[in-house]
Amino acid sequence: MRRRIVRYFLKYQVGFNRRFDRNFKRVHEVVTAGGVGDVHIVKVTSRDPEAPPLSYVKSSGGLFLDMAIHDFDMVRYLTGSEVVEVSAFGACLVDPEIGKAGDVDTCTIMLRFENGALGVIDNSRQAVYGYDQRIEVFGSKGCVTADNETANNTTLYTADAVTREKPLWFFLERYNDAYIAEEQSFVDACLNDRETLVGVNDGLQPVLIGLAAKESCARGGAPVKVANDTHNG
């Protein structure tokens, strides 16, 4: 009697949902197609509307690993290059209790990429006007940006002021469609035996960048090399 050999292959996808946001995805498409030429600078602004509970801060791994990690993924996604060096500066400007818990609530991060490009990320635990999520990629042929999502894109002009909607409040509203697209992509990869769009190395590299940023911040912003022996792994 012949034995039937069945092979099972596991699909693995990291939950970096921002790659599936329609605006950020479009920026990626423009950059990949050469629309801005050689990438020189990438900027990411990522600010939460309010600080998380201290219980979360104490167990999350800190701002560089629980918040900025999404931005580290985004700069890799947008530049198509690995981060090789990080300089990070942090402060407690929102809640001193966060500092007592051993973390920062405000930071700026400077990045140097393998392809020579430079990056800047700014994070804050509290933007009183809503969830602030913006990106910009500047290159030799131009610049492409993505602004905040709002409830609508109308602008009211009066004698007193020009007003428009504030950004959506938090990630569930801002990235609702991205979460759906992320799940659809994973299901498609499983059903049609395709590679997932955010793989193992995409999960690892932001952690390595985050650890380097954390060390740099602790050293007063001194540049720290990112462990790169796994870039080709």
Q: Give the model confidence (pLDDT) of 158-179 as tens digits.
A: 999 999 999 999 998 999 999 9
Q: Domains, the chain, ranges and CATH?
A: 17-223 (3.30.360.10)
Give the per-residue pLDDT at 233: 41
β-bridge mates for residue 108, sequence order: 89, 122
Residues 186-224 have pLDDT tens digits of 999 999 989 999 999 999 999 999 999 999 999 999 999
Cα(212)–Cα(54) distance, integer angstroms: 23
Ramachandran angles phi, psi of 39, nearest 5°: -75, 125
Taking CA 91 as the corner, what is the angle to CA 74 and CA 99, rounded to the nearest 5 degrees?
A: 110
Give the per-residue pLDDT at 181: 95
pTM of the model: 0.90
Cβ distance 183 to 22 under 8 Å? no
Mean pLDDT of 105-115: 98
Give the per-residue pLDDT at 229: 60
Give the per-residue pLDDT at 231: 47
Give the DSSP letter string of 197-220.
SS-HHHHHHHHHHHHHHHHHHHTT
Give the per-residue pLDDT at 10: 84
